[in-house]
Chains A and B, each alone.
Chain A
Amino acid sequence: MFTAIYELLCGKNDDPIYASNVYPYVGLFTLVYAIVFAIVFYLLLGRWRPVWDKVSHWIITLVILIAIAAYLALDQSKSATGENYDAFMYKFAIINAVVATVYFFIFSVILKRASIFARRTPF
């Protein structure tokens, strides 16, 4: 599933390791990170105390997730292929950041109803 998504968004790479190792691994962990970030934001902190529940906090959380997603894509591409950073890797990192943003947004919409303090975040 992840391979199909990334090949659709990034284009197919000639190196088959992307389809077999990089896309599934990066896709799964990006999804897991997005879920974990949303759970921590909305259910753990968002139900505990009003300490990390405003739009500014949500944006900071998203930026951290984006950074992790981009780093994950770059690092996994480099280590799986054994090559230096190239233009495709940067493109993949940017697209993975966008994918993480979409995941986080979707989980935000789903989980915010179960929150107390972040119920109206980001909107």
Chain B
Amino acid sequence: MDPGSRKTFDRSFTAVGYFSIALMAAALVVLLMPIFAKGSGAFVFRGTVENRRLMLEKFGRGDRAAIEAEKAAAAAARAPVYEAIARFEAALDTADAEDRRGYRSDFREVRELVAELLGPAPGRQTPVLIRDQYGQTRWDRASVVLHRILYVEDYDYSDATKMGVKVATPRVERFRGTALEPLFGVLERDARAMLRPRTTFYWRFLFDQSFDAHIFGGIWPELLGTFYLAVGAMLFAVPLGIVAAIYLAEYAGESAFVSMLRTCISSLAGVPSIVFGLFGLAFFINTLRVSPSKSVLAGSLTLALLILPTVIRASEEAIKSVPVAYKEAAMSLGASRWRSIVTVILPAALPGVLTSVIISMGRAAGETAPIIFTAAVSVGKPLAIWQTLSQPTPALPWNIYNLATEHEAVDEIRHVQYGMVLTLVVLVLLLNLAAIVLRARVSKKLRG
């Protein structure tokens, strides 16, 4: 190759390299930006007076006197709404039967929507479901409900050649000329006074229990469950993995059997995680009966199996990369094989081993499929340590899926779902960061 084209070749190769790195960075930004933007909504949002009432009544937080005063102010602003409803109801009593029938369902809808926005009407019995005991706690959700009160959304199918077109007509048209008419104007004008939105920083989202399947509250059971599962998986996988790695690197030698063993371990790392999940169910729960049904223990064991191949292979590589000179020096001083492994080789291999362990822990924390059948439930209380032996737990990855697809009110709890995603992503990023820092520190110590 002549020097000119070699230069061109080198340059174009460098350019391709830079381009792919830039593409990866852009992809990362595109991926992470929405996660952070949307996820932060669970922690920082415009909280209404209903939110402060909830915090006071359910968690005993906040200044009681201030919140009572705020409630009174909000109640004053809400009074015209309830007054309009009461007057319309009274008018309906005296209206003729046809009118009554005509308005009945529309009026009921308005009343339900108002209760959804502002909470139960004053003087009514406290509802049974917690979600019915409070109005909208977040202003973004309140705005959506408000819009639904003010406008009736419908689809216009009149043009058969097109798909249905969404049309929003002001609901006030339906009640024009009745006692309910002022309600809409008042709501549109005074909604802020009725709910008093204020920027709220809800860091306790991480450490609060949830109510009513995540309609209110935080994600502590999920976070704790994820922690238990990941740490439990490490407890099983790390000792086993390191011992196996020592065996493969130091004792096994090079026989056909050992190379087959290595191939098996590598293939195991490529088995789809859902298969591990099913295996965990079949083996740990149905065959070994480590717990009567799903449990953190069974889930940890399954996750341990999943990450074991990675831990073994990475640790084996780390151990093999320790200079033979260390081993020779130790053995020439009269150290037995085991002694030289424990005192010299393992410490020198520590950075590599630690990295594999921590990254595997991130993987275990984020895996969904293996815990579906073995450990995860969608709703649960935070578990005490001993309960992990027999009880299932909610966990972040599974509950993200669950909230996104199977929750009865998906739209109302999007912020919780995004908050969970953010928490999980940050958790995994932190673990990886810890791996990098730890690795750097230990290798610095080793290098002197």
Note whether A and B form a binding pair. no
| Chain B contact residues, CB within 8 Å of chain A | none
| Chain A contact residues, CB within 8 Å of chain B | none
